[in-house]
A and B are shown apart, each in its own frame.
Chain A
């Protein structure tokens, strides 16, 4: 174990006050808040990121968030994240606002979100309440115009076992009415939120305080990145790691990839004569789905955002982490595989402070389907990380489907994604991925070739025949297993259904539904 003095200090603002702590940076923020600072309003409900009771607001400068948030360079964005899955070191130079901090300065001791909860009796036992209030405050912080649908999405990662959510919905309805007219621009939005006491005054001085404390004489890019010891383990958002290791040892010192500025951008690159969108591995799922470049590369991917985890998790989980976790049924991985993503693997870049040992900055590219070698086994070499994910820009048709017991936020029994090109009236470069039917996410080569080269302009009946053929081929080429989420036979059946559903999504307007379900 390192001596206390050698330990990296984490500097952060919690509510109205800055702290510099040598508490183990690899341990969850939740423990620091409750045990070290005695802030008991943040609750521990599950320590697996599933309940949202430990949600806190984390403010970071927008410029650290990658291409997706290009406006207002100096502005800080506040987002709700589960503090049980968040390494303390990850909020170095960030502003953490807990439920206690929200009311600092509010004249009657209540923010509008709290008042709505109070008036609608939306707290029953109240244990989940701080998390809901943080999540709804995050929703008001934007981006986007606050409406009820947005509010419901914002709390999709907060569980309440008492109320049935009716009263919470009624509180959200009130807020949507009250705050529908908030300004859209990040800077004005933040000011308006402070004026209307949704956020405390402590957010106003943060950007300037941060410049003084964290950036003065700081690293080359002027960013907050900081050297962290590395014991062979790198974590992205932590949303998988801390679920498996909820109580890490006191000297747990992983590399925190979200602190690497060169892993946090989204840009266009040209390679092999093709245009690609390259997303840094440490981009969060929220920023990934929000990115105009990503949306251009994978048309319609934003429609499937809510199929992946919850808002709280998406605000923290990184795309690189999701892939490296190698879940056989990871939704984002399935989407990326269907979309034809290529991984850029390599040592952490020399621009990353604290990674100077990695002088070799050579990278290699690997199609995502080749990355998975077996159950939770990947092709990552020693010292190598996923640096970026490249998305081809030439695939206009994309669809994703999954089936789970619950409507959302459930681990899928089966999922699948598809993308293809239509050239000269024929389907070509067809890719169909599937999860939950093998130890790794896989490409369904047989199914894809059953579609490859088929004529696009074959009418509804012809498309229905093709859909059935592709589905049957897919069902024949897999060997699923049985577990709590479904039996082997059910998974096989479902994969077929989901492939049919892809076709329905693409060709519903042409009447394929009537052909498939006469």
Chain B
């Protein structure tokens, strides 16, 4: 085997690191997923597969108006329908502002949403909850509820939102938890500014300046499993909710706050999730099933229809990004200036954090600039809320910066790769941006200990056949082929904010349970957590059984978001495994009356210094649970981790496209991505993560686009009207992992979950620029937009 991740690492950092790369037994092997067989045989796995048969079906009445006040709700007809259990309106519940963002405490998003409110702020906003014995009755009842609205004019254009006379959130109770630039009177959910150096002066001094304004669209997640939850009261009268959530602990806390319940009285269980991509970080449906169960005492079930998923869960933030960048003739990039306007829709979930990431995950790529500015506002509109979506902010920022940098290279007459190589961040370096900008607050001052961008670019050039003299050519009459590229970075969790924990327990028979708060949302994290534990303990993979994401039965973890699981939760597992080894050796020492540091463990047996076997792992497990008299105890250890830093993974993405200059259609023929994610804990799973991220980025670049009518009704509310890439839309995609080792990561690992989505919009835009000579600044690059650009260019020349 000569896969790249197994090649020896040639460039080692100079100073000695705490962990050295080595031959791994479990880590760095492509072990099939633990749950793989269950999945391919269609075993019950997802929330709705387990819903109790006697659960009430919940249906929601949703607003048909983009902005209105509810004057009255008449539920009498619905309540008269046989089989209807209850109807709940805003008048029936305590009015408590909360945020559905699904973040830690205190939330960096404004608490600007009520479970049910007097106002509705987008088409699809919840008006009332209905529960009935069967689905058809629940739906029928929801259609019988008569709501009278006072309809207001709405704000749909986010570029006209600030200081618009129409104020979307006039209510008094809403608030920010700490200063995030929240000015609801001005329709501003959040704002932020940062500055290093003198941007104006550096632009003035630069030989070449590029100023461009970019517009990125709202994108829908379209996880294949719709949002689903069910709830019931357990024997102790506690509220149990099974839900497809990426973060059970945040969900528990936020639900307790929104329902004004003690945290103790809620248990959240996450069965398998059918895809999340950020969409299931949010609290969308849990309050509704909870309210029905609390009201009726009965189990309640809600699975959103696909239309509801489109209309009432979140999208990616639409953004206007205005860039200015200046460079010298010698190819030195001097200055980056980024002004951003972000559209958070009706509510401010992730308003600030997704906004800051636009800068913090793109500007450090070019860390040698003398001046950098980033700032702007996140505004409300009467549209579907925006929220977390894989690569949030980063993909928008990457599109703007990597398009601008490419344009600068064109202006300088330089190979766009050579220009990047001269200015991009290198291993061992820092960026002021890391220190200044975190996610919702200040950042951390970190040095980059692993960065293989040079390798990623070099290898990507080989794979795509990069020739700066031949970046575009006519392939057939009316067809132009071209290549373009972009580089990207992400993070690995939010430093000093995200925390994960894991508990290992030795069970009778000599095997272990591994309980993790980390949430496998389809990524394979349950499998890689076992790989990490097995590697550190020195035991076979098959001797560890993993259980994840149950607030009563697994230790705390913030959940699966911000590319945190491998790095943060993985480090927690590593910590637990280290402690577990010590706990076991101490137990052996205690029992045999010898020194702990003389005892060795080979994964099966504990040995004395002379190599003689003291006790097998199997016997130890029985001894400590059944035989050791007063020394009997459960051998268990819990580890936790929070990162003092967030080592970025890096990627170089290369697109080869063919543009039909007659129709404007862009065919993506080949996409090459070389990723530095540190040690891939499971190379096959890492590769699939990268491939999947790429295709979502490709969808964003080429056709995915959330669209509304002039009245604010969503047009793209089916998969037919909002197509996501199918098998047929994929040309060749090649993903390689760069040999890399992150000293602070578990066995050298960094994150892989989000980085894949970042490069396609910019790389494809750069290829289109090479093909037709026009810079596309608005995603997606639909045939119509490309054709109009070609025509405009032709008119310009004429």
What residues make up the interface of A, taking CB atoms closer than 8 Å to B? Answer: 40-48, 50-51, 53, 98-100, 103, 109-110, 114-115, 117-121, 123-130, 133, 152, 155-169, 243, 246-247, 249-250, 306, 310, 403, 405-411, 413, 484, 486-487, 490, 493-494, 497, 500, 513-514, 516-517
B45 located at the interface, meaning its Cβ lies under 8 Å from any Cβ of chain A in the complex: yes
A/B interface sample: 25 pairs, CB < 8 A = A41-B42, A45-B225, A45-B226, A117-B40, A121-B33, A121-B524, A125-B276, A127-B522, A133-B42, A161-B692, A162-B224, A163-B688, A163-B692, A164-B688, A164-B691, A164-B733, A166-B688, A167-B688, A247-B135, A247-B136, A407-B726, A407-B729, A413-B783, A487-B784, A514-B477
Chain A to chain B: the 6 pairs with minimum beta-carbon distance, closest first: A41-B42, A125-B522, A127-B274, A99-B42, A517-B477, A164-B691
Whether B523 lies near A161 (C-beta < 8 A) is no
Whether A165 lies near B225 (C-beta < 8 A) is no
* Given A164-B733, A486-B784, CB of A46 within 8 Å of CB of B36: no
Task: Tell me the complex Cα distance, A394–B223, Å.
Answer: 49
Q: Which residue of A lies closest to B303 (CB)?
A: A44
Whether A114 lies near B40 (C-beta < 8 A) is yes
* Given A406-B703, A407-B729, A497-B662, CB of A125 within 8 Å of CB of B787: no
Residues of chain B contacted by A114 (CB below 8 angstroms)? 37, 40-41
* Given A103-B41, A118-B37, A163-B688, CB of A411 within 8 Å of CB of B224: no
Whether B224 lies near A109 (C-beta < 8 A) is no
Q: Which residue in B40, B48, B275, B716 is a CB contact (below 8 Å) of A161? A: B275
Task: Tell me the complex Cα distance, A411–B716, Å.
Answer: 13
Distance in Å from the Cβ of A113 to the closest Cβ of chain B? 8
Distance in Å from the Cβ of A55 to the closest Cβ of chain B? 11
Task: Tell me the complex Cα distance, A164–B689, Å.
Answer: 8
Residues of chain B contacted by A126 (CB below 8 angstroms)? 35, 39-40, 45, 272, 274, 522
Residues of chain A contacted by B39 (CB below 8 angstroms)? 123, 126, 129
Chain B residues 748-798 with CB under 8 Å of chain A are: 780, 782-784, 787-788
Whether A160 lies near B224 (C-beta < 8 A) is yes
Query: Which one of B1-9, B422-430, B694-702 is at the A interface?
Result: B694-702
Residues of chain A contacted by B37 (CB below 8 angstroms)? 109-110, 114, 118
Distance in Å from the Cβ of A235 to the closest Cβ of chain B? 18
Task: Tell me the complex Cα distance, A354–B723, Å.
Answer: 40
Distance in Å from the Cβ of B544 to the closest Cβ of chain A? 19
Task: Tell me the complex Cα distance, A516–B481, Å.
Answer: 19
**A43-B46, A110-B41, A121-B32 known, 19 other contacts, Cβ within 8 Å:** A48-B718, A99-B42, A124-B522, A125-B521, A126-B39, A127-B522, A129-B42, A159-B224, A161-B224, A161-B724, A167-B688, A249-B136, A306-B728, A408-B728, A408-B729, A409-B726, A413-B783, A484-B716, A494-B783
Residues of chain A contacted by B684 (CB below 8 angstroms)? 120-121, 167
* Given A159-B726, A487-B784, CB of A48 within 8 Å of CB of B306: yes
Distance in Å from the Cβ of B666 to the closest Cβ of chain A? 10
Task: Tell me the complex Cα distance, A438–B719, Å.
Answer: 24
Task: Tell me the complex Cα distance, A166–B48, Å.
Answer: 28
B197 located at the interface, meaning its Cβ lies under 8 Å from any Cβ of chain A in the complex: no
Chain B residues 424-452 with CB under 8 Å of chain A are: none
Q: Which residue in A50, A162, A410 is a CB contact (below 8 Å) of B275? A: A162
**Proximity string of chain B (717-748) to chain A, C-beta cutoff 8 Å, 1 when within and 0 when not:** 01111011111111001010000000000000
Task: Tell me the complex Cα distance, A246–B523, Å.
Answer: 31
Residues of chain A contacted by B692 (CB below 8 angstroms)? 124, 161-164
Chain B residues 653-683 with CB under 8 Å of chain A are: 662-663, 665, 667
B30 located at the interface, meaning its Cβ lies under 8 Å from any Cβ of chain A in the complex: yes
Q: Which residue of A lies closest to B735 (CB)?
A: A166
Q: Which residue of B lies closest to A24 (CB)?
A: B136
B179 located at the interface, meaning its Cβ lies under 8 Å from any Cβ of chain A in the complex: no
Residues of chain B contacted by A407 (CB below 8 angstroms)? 667, 726, 728-729
Distance in Å from the Cβ of B792 to the closest Cβ of chain A? 13
B365 located at the interface, meaning its Cβ lies under 8 Å from any Cβ of chain A in the complex: no
Task: Tell me the complex Cα distance, A514–B478, Å.
Answer: 10
Whether B222 lies near A161 (C-beta < 8 A) is yes
Whether B224 lies near A41 (C-beta < 8 A) is no
Whether A162 lies near B787 (C-beta < 8 A) is no
Whether A410 lies near B41 (C-beta < 8 A) is no
Distance in Å from the Cβ of A133 to the closest Cβ of chain B? 6
* Given A403-B665, A405-B782, CB of A164 within 8 Å of CB of B694: yes
Q: Which residue in A123, A125, A129, A484 is a CB contact (below 8 Å) of B707? A: A484
Whether A163 lies near B691 (C-beta < 8 A) is yes
Residues of chain A contacted by B721 (CB below 8 angstroms)? 411, 484
Task: Tell me the complex Cα distance, A159–B39, Å.
Answer: 16
Chain B residues 16-54 with CB under 8 Å of chain A are: 30, 32-33, 35-37, 39-46, 48-49
Residues of chain B contacted by A40 (CB below 8 angstroms)? 42, 44, 48-49
Q: Which residue of B lies closest to A403 (CB)?
A: B663
Task: Tell me the complex Cα distance, A142–B44, Å.
Answer: 29
Whether B33 lies near A123 (C-beta < 8 A) is yes
* Given A161-B224, A164-B733, CB of A42 within 8 Å of CB of B42: yes
Residues of chain A contacted by B787 (CB below 8 angstroms)? 490, 493
Q: Which residue in A119, A410, A494 is a CB contact (below 8 Å) of B32? A: A119
Residues of chain A contacted by B727 (CB below 8 angstroms)? 152, 155-156, 158, 165, 168-169
Q: Which residue of A lies closest to B689 (CB)?
A: A124
B687 located at the interface, meaning its Cβ lies under 8 Å from any Cβ of chain A in the complex: yes
Q: Which residue of A lies closest to B521 (CB)?
A: A125
Q: Which residue of A lies closest to B660 (CB)?
A: A497
Distance in Å from the Cβ of B737 to the closest Cβ of chain A? 14
Q: Which residue of B lies closest to A310 (CB)?
A: B726
Whether A41 lies near B733 (C-beta < 8 A) is no
**Proximity string of chain B (220-255) to chain A, C-beta cutoff 8 Å, 1 when within and 0 when not:** 011111100000000000000000000000000000
* Given A53-B224, A246-B305, CB of A409 within 8 Å of CB of B665: no
Whether A406 lies near B725 (C-beta < 8 A) is yes
Q: Which residue of B lies closest to A500 (CB)?
A: B662
Residues of chain A contacted by B283 (CB below 8 angstroms)? none
Task: Tell me the complex Cα distance, A490–B45, Å.
Answer: 46
Task: Tell me the complex Cα distance, A53–B306, Å.
Answer: 13
Residues of chain A contacted by B694 (CB below 8 angstroms)? 164
Task: Tell me the complex Cα distance, A114–B39, Å.
Answer: 9
B273 located at the interface, meaning its Cβ lies under 8 Å from any Cβ of chain A in the complex: yes
Q: Which residue in A125, A250, A490 is a CB contact (below 8 Å) of B223? A: A125
Distance in Å from the Cβ of B284 to the closest Cβ of chain A? 17
Whether B306 lies near A47 (C-beta < 8 A) is yes
Residues of chain B contacted by A41 (CB below 8 angstroms)? 41-44
Distance in Å from the Cβ of A416 to the closest Cβ of chain B? 13
Whether A167 lies near B691 (C-beta < 8 A) is yes
* Given A103-B41, A156-B728, A484-B721, CB of A121 within 8 Å of CB of B226: no
Whether B224 lies near A118 (C-beta < 8 A) is no
B715 located at the interface, meaning its Cβ lies under 8 Å from any Cβ of chain A in the complex: yes
Whether B224 lies near A45 (C-beta < 8 A) is yes
Q: Which residue in B303, B726, B788 is a CB contact (below 8 Å) of A406? A: B726
Residues of chain A contacted by B521 (CB below 8 angstroms)? 125
Give the one of A43, A103, A162, A250 with max B CB within 10 A: A162
Residues of chain A contacted by B695 (CB below 8 angstroms)? 164-165
Whether B272 lies near A50 (C-beta < 8 A) is no
Task: Tell me the complex Cα distance, A99–B523, Å.
Answer: 22
Task: Tell me the complex Cα distance, A500–B725, Å.
Answer: 28
B576 located at the interface, meaning its Cβ lies under 8 Å from any Cβ of chain A in the complex: no
Distance in Å from the Cβ of A306 to the closest Cβ of chain B? 8
**Proximity string of chain B (147-177) to chain A, C-beta cutoff 8 Å, 1 when within and 0 when not:** 0000000000000000000000000000000
Residues of chain A contacted by B273 (CB below 8 angstroms)? 125
Task: Tell me the complex Cα distance, A44–B136, Å.
Answer: 16
B139 located at the interface, meaning its Cβ lies under 8 Å from any Cβ of chain A in the complex: yes
Whether B477 lies near A516 (C-beta < 8 A) is yes
Distance in Å from the Cβ of B498 to the closest Cβ of chain A? 22
Distance in Å from the Cβ of A28 to the closest Cβ of chain B? 12
Task: Tell me the complex Cα distance, A133–B37, Å.
Answer: 13
Whether A125 lies near B224 (C-beta < 8 A) is yes
B268 located at the interface, meaning its Cβ lies under 8 Å from any Cβ of chain A in the complex: no
Residues of chain B contacted by A243 (CB below 8 angstroms)? 718, 720
